[in-house]
Amino acid sequence: MVSALAISSAFFYGLSMIFTRIGLRSSNVLSGLLISLISSLIASLVIYFYCVTPHYFDILSLLYFTLAGIIGPCVGRVLLYIGINRVGSSIASQLHATKTLFSAITAVIILGERLTLSIVLGTIIMFIGIVIVSSENPGGQIKNKWSRKDLIFPIIAGACFGLAHVIRKIGLNVIQEPIIGVLVQNAAALSLFPLIVFVQKSQERLIWNDKRSWTIFSLSGISSVIGQLCLFYALDFGQVVIVSPLASTSPFFVILLAAVFLRNIERITWKIVLGAILIIVASTVLTFIPPE
């Protein structure tokens, strides 16, 4: 159950990245971020009112879910969108998988979760895959060129999402309501958007009248919410050190989807494919780890 939920989360996060890459062809990061955040919050509200009977919220859990929303869906998504825009979804998704390293280390230190030899081996294999992808020659996209300095954006995004995994787990230890966690974190992420606009200092203008952008980025936001739900339930049932690596298999799905939908935009090289294979091997190792 935990493995299936975590891998499902990876698929929907990967699908969200594909939609984002398609949307950024005719829009910009700021507009895409706002549309996806709005659609994520609306989808979260619909799921909440349909599936959960409103009741008392635990203040402490709300604080944890809010913090997770600020770090992950807000700051992490901004950096991930910038990374996707600059280096493409195929490479950004794999470097974003560094969240496994950050979440595993943080979970062991903060939550006291057991770091087994299998977890260490799986994480090392995954890290090797990420290094191979990082060695890809700049300009790997078909239409746009990029610099190795651009790789820092998806890596830092991975750190944000990895830390958010642990904070979500702490919140779920207080109140076992994954749907509430998803709703609160998306509300927190959207509430910080004005600050993001201020920091941007009008470097990009918001594009409101592009129906195609609203459709594509809304699909990205909805896919992200489904991925969040799967992730929250996986974290509720399992350990962070197991869930996070499995949820990081999104690069595999991104490559498959990119080969179909982005073949005229991104070039899938042997390094990207090899890196994805290693990440899947690592995830397979982690799948058979006993929970205790």
Find the helix packing angle between 2-23 and 250-261, rounded to 10°.
Answer: 40
123: nearest Cα among 107, 101, 103 = 101
Residue 292 lies in a domain: no
pLDDT in tens, 43-96: 999 998 888 776 666 788 888 889 988 888 888 888 888 888 877 777 777 777
Contacts of 46 by beta carbon, 8 Å cutoff, 6+ apart:
none
Residue 31 lies in a domain: yes
Residue 14 lies in a domain: yes
Query: What's the number of domains the chain is made of?
Result: 1
Instruction: For residue 265, give Cα distances in angstroms to 98, 149, 271.
Output: 24, 21, 17
The span from the CA of 166 to the CA of 259, in Å, is 33
pLDDT in tens, 186-238: 999 888 888 777 766 656 677 777 888 899 999 999 999 999 899 888 888 88
Residue 103 lies in a domain: yes
Place of tokens 């890459």: 21
Residue ranges making up the domain that contains 36 = 2-49+56-287
> Best-predicted range by mean pLDDT among 31-40, 124-133, 150-159, 238-247?
31-40
Instruction: For residue 274, give Cα distances in angstroms to 95, 114, 119, 135, 153.
Output: 14, 29, 21, 12, 22
Q: What 8-state DSSP symbol labels residue 141?
A: B
Residue 168 lies in a domain: yes
